[in-house]
């Protein structure tokens, strides 16, 4: 009854997914979850995979999935997903069964110290009292469940840990006197909860609003400064924060640099000047100098692009960071102002403040402007500023388009996945090189797409399971781009994809750690190849066969496009393996960046002109590789 009350109240508070790994100490929780028709129960053999699957559900559905484990090292296996949930601000509930207190610290089997095992990585930890059939205890348990869900969804969202001690018997067998006769009738709130499936306590999630005075101050600065920039970083709520960033860019007239995980990269631009390819052209010091902003509005977490971070680090001046989380998000120490405020709410409020200020300014300026025609000096200055950014993106788009016509390299893989993804689908991108390649080579387009990744702590563990969780937590196909080392880390996640979700895994296999080829350590052989690149020589067709998934190996851009089209049409989970070469990929990326610099220097005299046509001919990048203002 105690476990049933807990699961009942979690469901009333909005939990719909329970992810469990088999174990006997957690049997009361498992049986209660299995008996509740409101809950979808996913069984995983591996606790680490289960936790990352639940994390993926939370990222996509924006509600916590509950992970149930037995005691001992099963609990310790949750830590990697807990860390990622904490840093990416994703809701997650951890229900860990434990031995009763009398068996702890006494050499009892499978008993470890689980209290506070996740340290500061959880938003809240509660050691629940031992189960008892008593009214006050069960009402308290219901309140505890409501608080756990609210804490997981708080600002910032994150993991919450409930440690739950159970003594035998654990199976749902009847024990005389265990629950007094007539208990449910005598104590309906404790046993059955509030009427009409209402939670015992409705807890509102607080969204922090920016101070009105600071809004007016910032709105005035935006009206004064033409060389402004909006940087939308990775967001825990891309569906909310992405459209808000685009609306703010449209209202201010500032160029928008949307991280691939911001929610602003794809879909209708909403009138914003939205740009891509900035990681490619900001690698040039002269270009960064020409594009140095006077005012930056940075929304959310730090952007993925190292070259964009270089621009922010060198820019100085006014940089406003807006983020609702408690964790500090200015590792460059360049913020002149830091507002702890809900990003979407801030953007909406600043747009309103600017509208109000513009109306007042227009009323005062109207008599002076009578009889004058043409744009103001401020409008011309802002247009020139936008032209600089457009020209830089044109150079990047042209270089990427030309590079994509040759042999397939890893940057082109991510761009191809974005082109193939159907409208309304989700792309899950692995940490390490895939997220960087997607950010650099997948240009903004009007097609609505959602992008997720584990960028909070940027680990490469749990990627396959997280992608499967994202698929289970939402609708539409999921295409996951993953490197071979990350794939090896989480092959048990293929079981999740086979049994619980539909994911098209695009496996980029360069036989080792390709990211290390971009670091100075690559020059130190033979230690580099042996201990950093660490080639494995594995044939992933065997992994596909082991987990019963279709597998296809491609080597060209055309083959990848055809394979993706077939996979999307057929549905189901499968693996498309793309074989690449680590060193050749590094050289291709460098060649693209060199071509970008060349195009920019050819047109340095006229910043508003599009890049010169290359000697190969061609009319520039694809339409979905251009910045768009709608």
Number of residues that make up the chain: 630
The string of pLDDT tens digits covering residues 561-612 is 999 999 999 999 999 999 988 888 888 888 898 999 888 888 754 444 444 4
Question: Where does 410-579 sit in CATH, by number?
Answer: 3.40.50.970
The string of pLDDT tens digits covering residues 343-380 is 999 999 999 998 876 655 554 444 443 333 444 556 78
Mean pLDDT of 191-200: 90
CATH 3.30.230.70 is the classification of domain 212-362+376-388: no
Percent of the chain having pLDDT more than 90? 70
* 156 cis-preceded (ω within 30 degrees of 0): yes
Strand partners, 42: 19
Mean pLDDT of 468-495: 95
Q: Contact 82/92 with Cβ under 8 angstroms? A: yes
pTM of the predicted protein model: 0.91
Q: How far apart are CA 303 and CA 235, in angstroms?
A: 10
Q: How far apart are CA 154 and CA 84, in angstroms?
A: 16
DSSP reduced 3-state for 421: coil
| Residue ranges of domains in the chain | 2-170+181-187, 212-362+376-388, 410-579
Give the pLDDT band (50/70/90) at residue 405. Answer: confident
* 2-170+181-187 and 212-362+376-388: identical CATH topology: yes
| pLDDT value at 41 more than 90 | yes
* Options 3.10.20.90, 3.40.50.970, 3.40.190.10, 3.40.50.720; CATH of 2-170+181-187: 3.40.50.970
User: Which residue reads 């974005």 in tokens?
Assistant: 418
Q: Which residues, at least 6 apart from 340, have a Cβ–Cβ distance to it below 8 Å? A: 208, 323, 324, 325, 326
């Amino acid at each position: 009854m105690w476990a049933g009350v807990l699961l009942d109240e979690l469901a009333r508070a909005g939990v719909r997914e329970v992810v469990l790994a088999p174990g006997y100490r957690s049997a009361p929780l498992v049986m209660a979850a299995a008996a509740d028709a409101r809950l979808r129960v996913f069984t995983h053999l591996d606790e680490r995979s289960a936790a990352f699957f639940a994390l993926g559900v939370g990222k996509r559905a924006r509600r916590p999935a509950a992970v149930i484990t037995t005691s001992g090292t099963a609990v310790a296996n949750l830590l990697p997903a807990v860390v990622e949930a904490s840093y990416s601000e994703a809701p997650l509930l951890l229900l860990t069964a434990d031995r009763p207190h009398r068996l702890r610290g006494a050499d009892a089997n499978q008993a470890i110290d689980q209290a506070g095992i996740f340290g500061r990585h959880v938003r809240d930890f509660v050691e629940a009292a031992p189960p008892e059939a008593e009214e006050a205890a069960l009402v308290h348990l219901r309140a505890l469940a409501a608080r756990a869900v609210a804490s997981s969804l708080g600002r910032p969202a994150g993991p919450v840990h409930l440690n739950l001690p159970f003594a035998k018997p654990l199976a749902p067998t009847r024990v005389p006197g265990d629950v007094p006769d007539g208990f449910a009738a005598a104590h309906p709130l404790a046993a059955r909860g509030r009427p009409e499936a209402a939670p015992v306590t409705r807890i509102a999630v607080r969204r922090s609003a920016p101070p009105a005075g600071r809004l007016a101050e910032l709105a005035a600065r935006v009206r004064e400064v033409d060389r402004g920039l909006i940087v939308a970083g990775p967001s825990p709520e891309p569906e909310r924060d992405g459209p808000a960033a685009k609306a703010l860019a449209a209202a201010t007239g500032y160029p928008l640099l949307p991280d691939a995980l911001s929610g602003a990269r794809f879909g209708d631009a909403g009138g914003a000047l939205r740009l891509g390819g900035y990681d490619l052209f900001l690698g040039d010091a002269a270009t960064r100098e020409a594009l140095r902003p006077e005012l930056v509005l940075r929304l959310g977490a730090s952007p993925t692009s190292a070259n964009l971070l270089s621009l922010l680090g060198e820019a100085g001046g006014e940089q406003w960071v807006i983020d609702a989380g408690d964790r500090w998000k200015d590792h460059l120490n360049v913020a002149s102002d830091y507002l702890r405020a809900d990003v979407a709410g801030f953007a909406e409020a600043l747009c309103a403040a600017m509208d109000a200020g513009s109306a007042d300014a227009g009323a005062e300026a109207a008599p002076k402007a009578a009889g004058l025609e043409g744009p103001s000096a401020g409008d011309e200055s802002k247009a020139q500023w936008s032209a600089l950014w457009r020209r830089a993106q044109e150079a990047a788009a042209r270089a990427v388009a030309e590079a994509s016509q040759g042999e397939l390299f890893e940057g082109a893989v991510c761009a191809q996945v974005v082109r193939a993804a159907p409208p309304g689908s989700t792309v899950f991108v692995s940490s390490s090189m895939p997220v960087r390649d997607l950010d650099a080579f997948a240009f903004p387009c009007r097609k609505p797409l959602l992008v997720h990744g584990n960028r909070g702590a940027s680990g490469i563990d749990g990627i396959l399971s997280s992608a499967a969780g994202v698929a289970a937590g939402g609708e539409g196909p999921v295409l996951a781009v993953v490197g071979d080392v990350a794939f090896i880390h989480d092959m048990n996640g293929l079981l999740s994809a086979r049994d619980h979700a539909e994911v098209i895994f695009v496996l980029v296999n360069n036989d080792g750690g390709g990211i290390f080829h971009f670091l100075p350590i690559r020059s130190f052989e033979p230690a580099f190849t042996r201990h950093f690149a660490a080639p494995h020589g594995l044939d992933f067709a065997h992994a596909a066969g082991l987990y019963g998934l279709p597998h296809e190996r491609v080597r060209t851009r055309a083959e990848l496009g055809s394979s993706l089209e077939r996979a999307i049409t057929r549905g189901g989970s499968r693996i498309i393996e793309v074989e690449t070469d680590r060193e050749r990929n590094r050289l291709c990326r460098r060649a693209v960046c060199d071509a970008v610099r060349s195009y920019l220097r050819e047109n340095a005299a006229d910043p508003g002109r599009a890049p010169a046509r290359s000697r190969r001919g061609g009319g520039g990048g694809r339409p979905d590789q251009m910045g768009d203002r709608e």
